[in-house]
């Protein structure tokens, strides 16, 4: 039997606001337990949550970029459950009137993934079991951090499509500046709803939901594992049970969560503490006007405006910080292809060697523009420039000063080059003889001798020219 | 509406409450009374009435995204039945 896998995704994204969704506590990552907390986010009785304007605006921007319809009259709802990661015993979320609905994401290859809805909600706290006292410790620093949950229709058929969608989503949200989407810090996490059915069938099988997927690799492996597990069950004549499963990355397997955690009856009702939101036409328009140029638009523009090859466009726009860096270089007068070559070569190599993200790059565009200009002007040869680049990268030092201090500028004193050429010719009569009798190799040797005397700082082009004119 | 013992079992499970048999019996009767009191509402024709979620005519109550110092941890933990120096302690809930 050939099976078709059907997948839908629920992705939670932490928004890059400074404060929590309903109180002024910081959203900074880390911090000692329960030090980013107040009576509101620890669920003390009698407190009043007030919505952060930025959360609403970020959610609308994300919805616009994902081609959603924006709900002009939106409300929050209470999702009730008893679990100590939420001290109020309910989560403020959206069920009845989510802020965005009916979107679509083009993941390439002619495939579009429909977005069912996008809603705002608060994140939960962290529970850590302490085996010594056999009790669970609750840390509410993350409790109340704003999230958007993006729910797709069951439109995926392969793990590759899921990854393509997540990459597109991450890229879009990073460009919008609404989230840093760091999976390792939990600011982008997804749950996979998966079922299988015989190829060609149009009825849905029983699905399971997999949680705790915190890397693209985990998503891929969990999908492969779960599709195989369900197929094996059905082929053994068993049923797939609708359940929530937890992915264990170390064991490379998923496990059913206890049924008690599964008891799902959230008894949603309208959140009385948060008055409804009405988005005016002007407000919505101002958010639309405020949308930045997204990666796809940049790729098209770099090709048409700068004539960059598609590969370059793809590489440079893969990270908004790199694209910003590229545009800054071009604005400073660097030729686009030069800028792109440096970014794809030296910049990415040094970033990866230092395990740095592009947005944390110490080197300024101004410094690199100056260095590239020195190469263009023939003051540094390309190899020396790369060494200078690596030396000045961390301190964003002045390339001119560095080259001068280390005597790295190319010798542009023609008289000096000529005298060195003459000396080399005089010292190597055999090679001169060889060259004149047609041995091209001898020319290379002579160039090498001249460069050696100039300590590698000769301008190869000038050395070639002078040598050739002397030998002709 | 009739409140059955099964409904009481279900609600107590959701509420993480364990009830003695005699408590369950009295709870069933009391819940029946409470819900029965609301039954009068079902006599109203609400077909043309927009559901009301908020009593006051307020909308767009928002705050700016400006950090306010958090509360002293000791002060927050003082409200918890069982804290340690850093955290709220609860019965074992994770494996």
- Burial class of B40 by CB neighbour count within 10 A (0 to 12, 13 to 18, 19+): exposed
In chain B, which residue's Cα lies nearest the Cα of A131? Answer: B92
For residue A6, what are its two tokens?
């059907």
Among chain A residues, the shortest Cα distance to B86 is held by A33
Q: What contacts A30, CB < 8 A, 6 or more positions away?
A: A141
- Residue numbers of the domain that contains B16: 5-43
Residue B72 falls inside a structural domain: no
pLDDT of residue A228: 95
Q: Is residue B21 a part of any domain in this protein?
A: yes
| B14, B73, B93: residue with CB nearest A84 | B93
Contacts of B65 in chain A (CB under 8 A): 17-19, 52-54
Facing residue for B53 by CB, picked from A83, A136, A270: A270
- Asked if residue B91 belongs to a domain, the reply is no
How close B82 comes to chain A (CA, Å)? Answer: 10
How many DSSP H helices and E strands does chain B contain?
3, 2
Whether residue A25 and residue B70 make contact (CB cut-off 8 A), yes or no, is yes
List the structure tokens of A63.
């919805």
The CATH number of residue B9's host domain is 1.10.20
| Cα A464 to Cα A451: distance, rounded to the nearest angstrom | 10
**A54 vs B contacts (CB less than 8 Å):** 64-65
pLDDT along chain A (472 residues), means of 10: 94 97 96 97 95 98 97 96 90 96 94 98 93 91 97 97 95 93 88 94 92 89 95 93 89 79 76 95 96 93 95 92 95 95 95 90 95 88 90 94 83 77 87 85 87 79 83 80
Classify residue B27: in a domain, yes or no.
yes
Who among B61, B73, B82 is closest to A51 (CB)? B61
Contact A83 B93 (CB under 8 A): yes
Q: Which residues of A touch B74 (CB under 8 A)?
A: none
Contacts of B60 in chain A (CB under 8 A): 275, 277-278
pLDDT of residue A259: 56
Tell me whether residues B76 and A129 touch, CB distance under 8 A: no
Provide the shortest C-alpha distance from residue B58 to chain A (in Å).
6
pLDDT reported for residue B94: 60
pLDDT of residue A258: 67
Instruction: Say if the Cβ atoms of A42 and B73 lie within 8 Å.
Output: no
Tokens at A225, concatenated? 């594992």
- Which letter does DSSP use for residue B15 in this model? T
pLDDT on residue A364: 96
Q: Which residues of B14-31 are buried (b: 16+ CB within 10 A; e: fewer)?
A: beeeebeeeeeeebbeeb
Between B63, B70, B71, which is nearest A26 by CB? B70
Is residue B77 in a domain? no
User: Is residue B89 within 8 angstroms of chain A, CB to CB?
Assistant: yes
Q: How close B56 comes to chain A (CA, Å)? A: 8
How many structural domains compose chain B? 1
Could you tell me the two tokens for A152? 């797709």
Q: What is the pLDDT, as a whole number, of residue B75?
A: 96
The shortest C-alpha distance from A379 to chain B (Å) reads 50
pLDDT score of A263: 57
Give the chain A residue whose CA is nearest to the CA of B54.
A272
| Closest-CA residue to A103 (of A73, A60, A69, A71) | A69
3-state secondary structure chain A: CCEEEEEEEEEEEECCCCECCCCCCECCCCCCCCCCCCCCCCCCCCCCCCEEHHHHHHHHHHHHHCCCEECCEECCEEEECCCCCCCCCEEEECCCCCCEEEEEEECCCCCEEEEEEEEEEECCCEEEEECCCCEEEEECCCCCCEEEEEEECCCECCHHHHHHHHHHHHHHHHHHCCCCCCHHHCCEEEEEEEEEEECCCCCCCCCEEEEEECCHHHHHHHHHHHHHHHHHHHHCCCCCCCCEEEEECCCCEEEECCHHHHCCCCCCEECCCCCCEECCHHHHHHHHHCCCCCHHHHHHHHHHHHCCCHHHHHHHHCCHHHHHHHHHHHHCCCCHHHHHHHHHHHHHHHHHHHCCCHHHCCCCHHHHHHHHHHHHCCCCCHHHHHHHHHHHCCCCCCHHHHHHHCCCCCECCHHHHHHHHHHHHHHCHHHHHHHHCCCHHHHHHHHHHHHHHCCCCECHHHHHHHHHHHHC
Mean pLDDT of B66-72: 97
Q: Find tokens 């599964």 and name the residue.
A: A262
The structural domains of chain A, ordered by start, are 3-283 (no CATH), 295-405 (no CATH), 414-471 (1.10.10.410)
Does residue B18 belong to any structural domain of this protein?
Answer: yes
Q: Is residue B15 in a domain? A: yes
| Residue-level pLDDT at A8 | 97
The phi and psi torsions of A333 (rounded to 5 degrees) equal 100, 5
In terms of pLDDT, which residue wins out, B1 or A327? A327
Question: How many angstroms separate the CA of residue B12 from the nearest CA in chain A?
Answer: 12
Can you tell me whether residue B90 is helix, strand or coil? Answer: strand
CA A263, distance to chain mean position in Å, is 36
Between the alpha carbon of residue A417 and those of residues A276, A376, A392, A407, B92, the distances in Å are 79, 20, 29, 16, 80
């Amino acid at each position: 039997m050939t099976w078709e896998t059907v997948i839908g995704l629920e992705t939670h994204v932490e928004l890059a606001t400074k404060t929590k969704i309903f109180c002024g506590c910081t959203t900074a990552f880390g911090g000692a337990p329960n030090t980013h907390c107040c009576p509101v986010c620890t669920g003390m009785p009698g407190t009043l949550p007030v919505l952060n304007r930025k959360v609403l605006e970020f959610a609308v921007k994300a919805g616009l970029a994902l081609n959603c319809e924006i709900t002009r009259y939106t409300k929050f709802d209470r999702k009730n459950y008893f679990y100590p990661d939420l001290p109020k015993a309910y989560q403020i979320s959206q069920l009845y009137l989510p802020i965005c609905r009916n979107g679509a994401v083009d993941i390439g290859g002619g495939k579009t993934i429909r977005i069912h809805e996008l809603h705002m909600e608060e994140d939960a706290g962290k529970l850590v079991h302490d085996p010594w006292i056999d009790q669970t410790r609750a840390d509410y620093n993350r409790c109340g951090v704003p999230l958007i949950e993006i729910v797709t229709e069951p439109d995926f058929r392969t793990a590759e499509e899921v990854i393509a969608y997540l990459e597109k989503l991450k890229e879009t949200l990073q460009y919008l500046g609404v989230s840093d989407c760091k999976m390792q810090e939990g600011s982008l996490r997804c749950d996979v709803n998966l079922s299988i059915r015989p190829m060609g069938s149009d009825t849905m099988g029983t699905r399971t939901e997999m949680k705790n997927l915190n890397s693209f690799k985990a998503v891929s492996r969990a999908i492969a594992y779960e599709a195989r597990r369900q197929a094996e069950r059905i082929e053994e004549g068993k049923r797939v049970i609708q359940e929530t499963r937890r992915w264990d990355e170390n064991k490379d397997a998923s496990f059913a969560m206890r049924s008690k955690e599964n008891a799902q009856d959230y008894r949603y009702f309208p959140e009385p503490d948060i008055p409804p939101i009405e988005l005016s036409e002007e407000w919505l328009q101002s958010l639309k006007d405020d949308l930045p140029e997204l990666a796809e638009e940049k790729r098209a523009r770099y090709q048409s405006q700068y004539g960059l090859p598609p590969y370059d466009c793809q590489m440079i726009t893969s990270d908004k910080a790199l694209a910003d860096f590229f545009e800054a270089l071009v604005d400073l007068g660097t030729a686009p292809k030069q800028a792109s070559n440096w970014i794809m070569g030296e910049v990415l190599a040094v970033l990866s060697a230092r395990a740095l993200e592009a947005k944390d790059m110490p080197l300024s565009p101004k410094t690199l523009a100056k260095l590239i200009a020195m190469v263009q002007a023939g003051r540094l040869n390309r190899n020396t420039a790369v060494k200078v680049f690596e030396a000045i990268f961390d301190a964003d030092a002045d390339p001119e000063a560095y080259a001068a201090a280390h005597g790295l500028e190319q010798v542009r004193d023609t008289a000096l080059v000529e005298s060195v050429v003459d000396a080399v010719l005089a010292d190597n009569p055999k090679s001169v003889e060889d060259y004149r009798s047609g041995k091209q190799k001898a020319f290379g040797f002579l160039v090498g001798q001249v460069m050696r005397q100039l300590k590698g700082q000769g301008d190869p082009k000038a050395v070639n020219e002078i040598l050739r004119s002397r030998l002709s | 509406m009739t409140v059955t013992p099964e409904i009481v079992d279900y609600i107590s499970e959701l509420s993480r409450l364990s009830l003695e048999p005699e408590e369950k019996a009295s709870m069933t009767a009391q819940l029946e009374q409470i819900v029965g009191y609301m039954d009068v509402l079902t006599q109203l024709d609400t077909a043309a009435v927009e559901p009301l979620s908020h009593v006051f005519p307020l909308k767009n109550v928002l705050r700016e995204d400006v950090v306010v110092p958090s509360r002293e941890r000791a002060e927050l933990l003082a409200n918890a039945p069982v804290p340690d120096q850093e955290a709220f302690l609860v019965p074992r809930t994770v494996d």
